[in-house]
Structure 1
Amino acid sequence: MEQKHTDTDLQRLEELARDAAVGSTMYDKRWVIENILAVGRHFQTTSYITEDGPRELDDTIEEKMMTLWDISVEEDVSKFYLDYGVLDFFIELFSNPNLRVKEISIGIMTNMVFHESLFPTIMETDKCLENCLKLLEEKDSPTLLIVFRCLHSYGYNLFNLINKNEDSQKEVAKSLLEKFLIFLSLHSVVQNIGMVMGSCTNKTVLQNCARFLSILSELWDFHEDRRKVSHHYTGEQFLQCALEGMKECVGEDKTEKHFMIFLYLLFQRDLEKDMYSSISTQTICIMERLLKEHVLEYSSIDEHDLEFIFNISYVLKCCLESGEFSSIPANLKSFLKDAEGRVERADIDEEHAENKKSILTLISLSFNFLETCNQNGNTSESTENTPVHNNSTRNFYLNFEFYL
């Protein structure tokens, strides 16, 4: 009887705690609200613009903001923020001149966007995405890192939403995707992304940028006019910036794999051959580095590496096939041969056997091209970068048809 009484008391206490808590969490509503109000009142009464530059963030306020950021990983806390307009307040702080304020504020929004149940509501509010994209103009690595993480969460949730089988959600998903891709296709947005890749040396920023671009390029397939939303990403200036970002990250496994997904999809679906003339030489050199300093450094090749090697091989073949280049690295042929041997010897299961075969075909085509150029006297192993005549390149590939 005493045990039953104790159980009842505990249950009542648990119910009381839940009533006072944010959702199913153990965070007290009053405590959360007090932190929000303290931060809100601070920024209402404190200017961060001074003659000597942006004001330093008060330590106490920074601690409270960090607390609000940390607890937003809980879905119920993020829902609480959304229901009571807290997100709107932090979006306003994106324009604060203090970089730490921007970083924490976009961090809170990023955690909220991550939650799949809250995402459609956030996506319906244009100012969330619009103000997030404005932060791409910042030169602050910690802020940019989170901005790209936020954009990746947008893309990831849209990808999942569009692939759900529920018919009732199809039109909603299509509408949200249309809005997202229109925002991301703006010239100013594309230009800012390009500037980050072309000038940033922070490996983590570039990794998050590459992750975002890989999923963005896959989302273009769900738009009725892929070329319309991908147009500015195929411009010479943007492509040069993307290649600069790739050069900075050679050897960074995850970053390079995401960049190569993006580059492969551009070459396979979006780029016209006349565009290759501006980027082929640089692209060939980077593909050679990826083979030498990345693929050939693997202790072994397994199924998880096949997509990466396939993408490298495909892009390399496209550049060689176009004939629109000024030189070829002298050691490319030997690296291709080594890569071919590594792939041939790889113990790949039957399920991925066709992928392995496709890679070997691509490598063989590129290798045969280089062999023919040597026979025609257009390349020399003794020079670091040797010019190749474009007509010879085009004539060689007239005799080949390749189906993927």
Structure 2
Amino acid sequence: MKPDQEVKDEKEDVVTGDVIGDTAYSERFVLKLLLKFANLDTLKDEIQENTFEEDLCTLWDMTAERDVVLFLQKHDVLSLFNFAWPSIIESPRIIEILIGIIGNMCCQKEAAQALLKMDAFLTLLLEYTKSEDSLIIIQLLRLVNSSLFLADDSLIAIWIEIFIKIGYSSALYFILNNSSNKDLIITGLENFNTICSYCNTGQLRTRFFGHFVTSEAIEALATAFTEIAVNQKHSCGRDELERVFIISLQITLNLVGFDKSYEVFKDNKLDALKIISVVFTYYENKFVNQKEIDMDLVDIIDSTITLVKVLETSSICDHEQYFVQSYNMWVTLSSIDKTDSNGGSSFEIDDKEELQEFSKKMKASLSALIFNYIEKCSNENLLKAIDKIGKNYDDIFSLVEDESLSKAVSDRASNYRTRLKETENC
């Protein structure tokens, strides 16, 4: 009989030999599960078993670990899934799980690159963007996001060609235009933002423009944005809602960043204004009423300046869509300056210098946005705007750095302001 210590050591060797890398997961468990995909004669029966689905879900969780992904790669699991796919196409839940597993695997560069080499299989997967199953689409969009995040320009160029081949933009815009599923819409917006971030760069911009910059793009974006930010806002957490605001503006900026953008989106001005109005109403309340500093505000305002200039929205924009909100925030900033000079502030921030610097930047940006509106708005809205800002006009004027903008507004507003002063002096 072996000594107890030797028996114990042997058992530890067996356990250690069965684990995957530095994880506590079992190689034997994974290999046993993968063998089921290799046997097509029994696979259709296997997928009907609850234990099979449960084991796949366990594998899905396991693929969050890099060592597990490398182990699966070692056993060519992508080819195995491709081989078995015809046997699982009638099981949406299994498809969802497998795409989820592949999506997790694509968080590792080795797997993402391997999938990209499997043109036929990747094309098959991407066709599921046209599926009616929201859960499948969500996992597929996450797969794309993970893959693009790790890809260099040469690989992203391949992705764009595949997008073009399957009509990816049309499928994505259809999802954003027609879904009421909150998780799907938010995942779709994240996917759109990821595509803009990684595909709209350098030499890829021309291909991005040709496929993604269409009149349907901003319409779909505005529809999805409204569904989340207006219709379902009460079911969203604050961070989640603000994330939707930020990425929606980022997406729009990417879409309008081309010489021909105005020509493409000239009929989408109201869609863009819908997004801007909701965003500014939200942040006006947060800043003016709740007295909360949000460091993203300067970027939001600067982004909006770009959008209203490129799309020339001021001429059709009512003064209550973002002008009033901008001015109210400007006035609040002025009150911060006054209270700080007297030694106090209703805004909770420890670093007073940081608050002053933020206030300075934000006032300058708001002043520019206010003047961009006044320059091109209708005569009716011009009168309302000048009435609204009243005696603060000169202070706003002094903060606008664009001299041509200042002159244009000064020339346009001078006659009305003269009459206004005469009325005040009567």
**TM-score with structure 2 length normalisation?**
0.71
Alignment match of 1:400 (pick from 405, 413, 420)? 405
Q: How does 1:295-314 map to 2 (within 5 A)?
A: 296-297=285-286, 299=290, 300-314=292-306
The worse-fitting range, judged by mean Cα deviation, of 8-17 and 118-127 is 8-17
Alignment match of 2:221 (pick from 222, 230, 242)? 242
SS class of match (1:377): helix
Alignment match of 1:146 (pick from 114, 131, 139)? 139
Alignment match of 2:72 (pick from 61, 75, 81)? 81
Post-superposition offset of 1:39:
5.2
- In structure 2, the partner of 1:287 is 276
Q: Deviations over 1:336-384 (max 9, x none)?
A: 2123345675878989999876654453344234445678335686xxx
In structure 2, how many angstroms separate the alpha carbons of the residues matched to 1:234 and 1:296?
A: 33
Post-superposition offset of 1:241:
1.0
- Assess if the C-alpha contact under 8 Å between 2:60 and 2:100 holds in 1: yes
- In structure 2, the partner of 1:162 is none
- In structure 2, the partner of 1:27 is 25
Post-superposition offset of 1:114:
0.9
- In structure 1, the partner of 2:243 is 254
SS class of match (2:79): helix
- In structure 1, the partner of 2:328 is 338
In structure 1, how many angstroms separate the alpha carbons of the residues matched to 2:220 and 2:175?
A: 8
Q: Deviations over 1:256-290 (max 9, x none)?
A: 21222111122234652223321112211221111
Alignment match of 1:72 (pick from 63, 73, 76)? 63
SS class of match (2:167): helix
**Could you tell me which amino acid in structure 2 is paired with residue 23 of structure 1?**
G
- In structure 1, the partner of 2:124 is 131
Alignment match of 1:63 (pick from 48, 54, 60)? 54
Which structure 2 segments of 5+ residues have no match? 234-240, 337-346, 385-401, 407-426
In structure 2, how many angstroms separate the alpha carbons of the residues matched to 1:216 and 1:366?
A: 28
Structure (1 or 2) with the larger CA radius of gyration: 2
Post-superposition offset of 1:24:
2.6
In structure 1, how many angstroms separate the alpha carbons of the residues matched to 2:11 and 2:365?
A: 67
The worse-fitting range, judged by mean Cα deviation, of 213-222 and 185-194 is 213-222
Q: How does 1:182-201 map to 2 (within 5 A)?
A: 182-186=161-165, 188-201=167-180
1:215 correspondence with 2:194 = yes
The 1:196/1:355 distance shift into structure 2, 3 A limit, reads farther
Q: Deviations over 1:55-93 (max 9, x none)?
A: 994322211221222222222222222221222233453
- In structure 2, the partner of 1:390 is none
1:377 correspondence with 2:369 = no
- Assess if the C-alpha contact under 8 Å between 2:156 and 2:199 holds in 1: no
In structure 1, how many angstroms separate the alpha carbons of the residues matched to 2:103 and 2:226?
A: 28
Alignment match of 1:36 (pick from 28, 34, 37)? 34
Q: Deviations over 1:141-200 (max 9, x none)?
A: 211221111111112112xxxxxxxxxxxxxx3422221232234461110011111111
SS class of match (2:266): helix
SS class of match (1:307): helix
**Could you tell me which amino acid in structure 2 is paired with residue 311 of structure 1?**
S
The 1:269/1:35 distance shift into structure 2, 3 A limit, reads same
1:328 correspondence with 2:333 = no
Alignment match of 2:370 (pick from 356, 367, 372)? 367
Alignment match of 2:16 (pick from 11, 18, 38)? 18
The worse-fitting range, judged by mean Cα deviation, of 111-120 and 191-200 is 111-120
**Could you tell me which amino acid in structure 2 is paired with residue 266 of structure 1?**
L
- Assess if the C-alpha contact under 8 Å between 1:236 and 1:279 holds in 2: yes
SS class of match (1:62): helix
**TM-score with structure 1 length normalisation?**
0.75
SS class of match (2:380): coil
- Assess if the C-alpha contact under 8 Å between 2:255 and 2:261 holds in 1: no
**Residues matched between the structures, number:** 360
Q: CA RMSD in A?
A: 3.7
Q: How does 1:267-282 map to 2 (within 5 A)?
A: 267-269=256-258, 271-282=260-271
Choose between structure 1 and 2: higher helix proportion.
2
Post-superposition offset of 1:242:
1.5
SS class of match (1:268): coil
Q: Deviations over 1:1-60 (max 9, x none)?
A: xxxx96x9877655543322222322222222222224554x544659xxxxxx994322
**Could you tell me which amino acid in structure 2 is paired with residue 124 of structure 1?**
K
SS class of match (1:224): helix
Post-superposition offset of 1:223:
3.8
Q: Deviations over 1:200-246 (max 9, x none)?
A: 12222222222222232122354414122232221112221122111
The 1:46/1:21 distance shift into structure 2, 3 A limit, reads closer
- In structure 2, the partner of 1:175 is 154
Which structure 1 segments of 5+ residues have no match? 49-54, 159-172, 382-396
Q: Deviations over 1:375-402 (max 9, x none)?
A: 8335686xxxxxxxxxxxxxxx99439x
